[in-house]
Amino acid sequence: MRSTNMQRFQHDGVEIAFLDEGEGDPIVLVHGFASTAEVNWVYPGWIKTLTAAGRRVIALDNRGHGASSKLYDPAAYHSARMAEDVRALLDHLDLARADVMGYSMGARITAFFALAYPTRLRRAVFGGLGIHLVDGVGLPESIAEALEEPSLADVSDPMGRTFRAFAEQTKSDLRALAACIRGSRQTLAREDVAAIRAPVLVAVGTEDVVAGSAHELAALLPCGRAFDIPRRDVLGFLAEQP
């Protein structure tokens, strides 16, 4: 699953692939774990919808994913380092600031970006990540073990099996993803969340037990607002991918 429209740049010894489409106010899209810009944002229609609304849409493949460099040291996937990739992408495109929308792991990266680079962010959307930004690390490490099994048939854990099947479907590097999930499980302290001054929409499925409460996280944000997505969860999202 690779787009012919992918551009690339080098940062921190890593090649980052990205899409850049449309004109207008820029918004950067940061995909979730084991996904890609294409799977997370192109196929479901996000890029088409946003460009039709007059936005310039920039969507990167996170390190370890899609057409970007594959790394095998968990330390390379710290959420702060992945947030630096977003900042470097803005620098590469000579953009002073942008809106940023992330999903799941991408929302965690967006939160770290919001804290580290407040002058580069106009508004943010944390999709599929609620209070577990603060009191939990989201996806369990057992998913890494599922990715390292010899085959899908060897995986018995239901969530691990779902992610292993999804990773195989997206033709991902399973070893890189295992390193990523082990290295990107950071939280933010409540006082750090309170320091994020940009307006933030926290959008979480009402059946999503991985993300935690959107309302609890929004209450910690100075300009936070919660949005409930009825009858949705992260596993449902994965099941719908082409």
Q: Provide the pLDDT for residue 136.
A: 81
Which domain, by its residues, includes 69? 7-239
pLDDT, tens only, 7-56: 999 998 999 999 999 999 999 999 999 999 999 999 999 999 999 999 99
Domains contained in the chain, number: 1
Q: How many Å apart are CA 169 and CA 116, to the nearest integer?
A: 34
Question: 2 lies in a domain?
Answer: no
Question: 206 lies in a domain?
Answer: yes
Each residue's pLDDT expressed in tens, for the chain with a length of 242 residues: 445 589 999 998 999 999 999 999 999 999 999 999 999 999 999 999 999 999 999 999 999 999 999 999 999 999 999 999 999 999 999 999 999 999 999 999 999 999 999 999 999 999 999 999 999 877 788 999 999 999 999 999 998 999 999 999 989 999 999 999 999 999 999 999 999 999 999 999 988 888 999 999 999 999 999 999 986 544 344 344 43
Could you give the 3-state DSSP secondary structure of residue 114? helix
Question: 96 lies in a domain?
Answer: yes
Give, in degrees to the nearest 5, the angle at Cα 210 between 197 and 232. 90
Altogether, the residues listed in the chain come to a count of 242
Q: How many Å apart are CA 15 and CA 18, to the nearest integer?
A: 10
Question: 211 lies in a domain?
Answer: yes
Question: 141 lies in a domain?
Answer: yes
Residue 80: both structure tokens together: 């702060």
CATH number of domain containing 103: 3.40.50.1820
Question: 1 lies in a domain?
Answer: no
What is the value of pTM for the model shown?
0.93
Q: Which of 177, 169, 182 is nearest to 242 (CA)?
A: 169
Q: How many Å apart are CA 105 and CA 190, to the nearest integer?
A: 18
Question: 175 lies in a domain?
Answer: yes
Question: 66 lies in a domain?
Answer: yes
